Amino acid sequence: MSQRRYKLHRRAFLSGTSAAIVSASSLGRAFAQGAPLKVGVLLPRSGFQASIGQDCARGVELAAGILKELGYPSLQIINADTETNVEVARARAEKLIGDGAQLLMGAFDSGQSSAIAKVAEQKGIPFVINIAAAPPITEQGYKFVFRNFPTAPMILADAFANQIEIFEGAGTAPKSVVFMHVNDTFGTAMQKGSAAVMEKFKMPFKIADTISYDPAAKDLSVEVSKAKASGADGLMMVSRLNDAILITRELVKQRWTPSAILSMGPGWYEDQYLKTLGKLGDGPLSFVPWYDPNKKVSKMLEAALTKAYPDINLNTNHVYTFEALMVAADAYKRAGSADPKALADAIRKTNITDNVSTGPGISFDEKGQNSKLKNSAIQNRGGKLVTVAPKTAANAKAEVPMTPYDKRS
């Protein structure tokens, strides 16, 4: 083949096959030319977790402008709906990779994220988890799976530490609580880990009963009635949005106001909960992965959200989804290539200190877990969320006990 024909043949091949998606050497040149990294974003945009998935999607939407301002390269987002279904999540992950995704991100739910992790590891494509707390995900020896979100034991440990700080400050605490939790992967992991962690922290209350339930349940009157009958004066919760609303309405209907509602998961702090219940939504304390309001990037993210969605509070869904994309962009910038192995190697060396979440920053241990994350305690107050612990990130003092539902004007 002549030199001229070779050049023409090579040029035609590259333009006709989108080779930059699949060739490591081409990917390096594509980066140099400013080509965006293709990120497959898997979220539950339909099904009973749809509102949460859509909330996470806002974090995706806001990321582009902020990452650009911070000097990170562009990301091309390819969206997929997991439909709140583990099997669908697995199938959509495979399809995204087949469609050219060079990195996967998602999926809020531990069960769905576990399924995606298996696909990513099998295909050798980096997967950055935004939200999923089940410990086994990063205990499989995976080389392409990374989680910038605390595990259930980490959430529990920080939750109980922050509870102690709050109770000591308030001078009062529940004597006993009922532990109610969803029976999905996350809820079960939290329930299993709670006993050992509570013993370590010597909590001021005991668990009077443990009640599990289906997160897709339409009626939780029996569960609330059972909790009330236990004689406990507090509720410890691991919930999702819809069931948190159902439980609150049942508490009002059954005329029981716990002295404290202690949530260690989503649901109770979400905007839809606050808007749906109004004053009846005030009071619950959520002990969750959160953000440090004093950090520069936190202020940038909060300002961007307020501008785009004035009626929505910044929350966990936005923060950790944004940070997952920050991890992807940071790795792409340092790797100089979208080759999967090069990206994975770069993610392992992540050291982002200019971030949003509570704690010293983002880095990963040998298992692909950010083990340095810290959680916060927040309380619903007049349709807004205030941070009440730890003291280093607090902007209000906790109100304990809760105001009785029938005494709210």
H-helix or E-strand containing 140? none
Whether the pLDDT of residue 195 is over 90: the answer is no
How does DSSP classify residue 30? H
Q: Which amino acid is at 52?
A: I
Instruction: Choose among 361, 382, 384, 383: nearest CA to 371.
Output: 361
Instruction: Choose among 292, 289, 271, 291: nearest CA to 281.
Output: 271
Instruction: Choose among 70, 83, 192: nearest CA to 133.
Output: 192
Under the banding of pLDDT at 50, 70 and 90, the label for residue 1 is very low
Q: What is the pTM of this model?
A: 0.80
Tokens of 130: 């935004």
Under the banding of pLDDT at 50, 70 and 90, the label for residue 350 is very high
Q: Return d(Cα 308, Cα 371) in angstroms, integer.
A: 32
Whether the pLDDT of residue 22 is over 70: the answer is no
Instruction: Choose among 20, 17, 23, 19: nearest CA to 33.
Output: 20
CA dihedral 82, 86, 90, 91 (to 10 degrees): -60
What local confidence, expressed as pLDDT, does residue 199 receive? 81
CA distance to 191, 205, 223, 393, per residue, from 261 (Å): 16, 13, 15, 21
Q: Is 25 exposed, middle or buried (0-12, 13-18, 19+ CB in 10 A)?
A: exposed
Tokens of 53: 């998935």
Bin 18: left if φ > 0, else alpha if -120 < ψ < 50, else beta: left
Q: Return d(Cα 343, Cα 336) in angstroms, integer.
A: 9
Dump pLDDT digits (tens) for 308-328. 999 999 999 999 999 999 999
Find the range with the poorest average confidence among 84-88, 94-98, 150-154, 287-291: 150-154
Q: Return d(Cα 147, Cα 216) in angstroms, integer.
A: 26
Q: Are 159 and 182 spatial neighbours (Cβ–Cβ below 8 Å)?
A: no
Q: Are 43 and 104 spatial neighbours (Cβ–Cβ below 8 Å)?
A: no
Dump pLDDT digits (tens) for 198-246. 888 889 999 999 999 999 899 999 999 999 999 999 999 999 999 999 9
Dump pLDDT digits (tens) for 254-277. 999 999 999 998 899 988 999 999
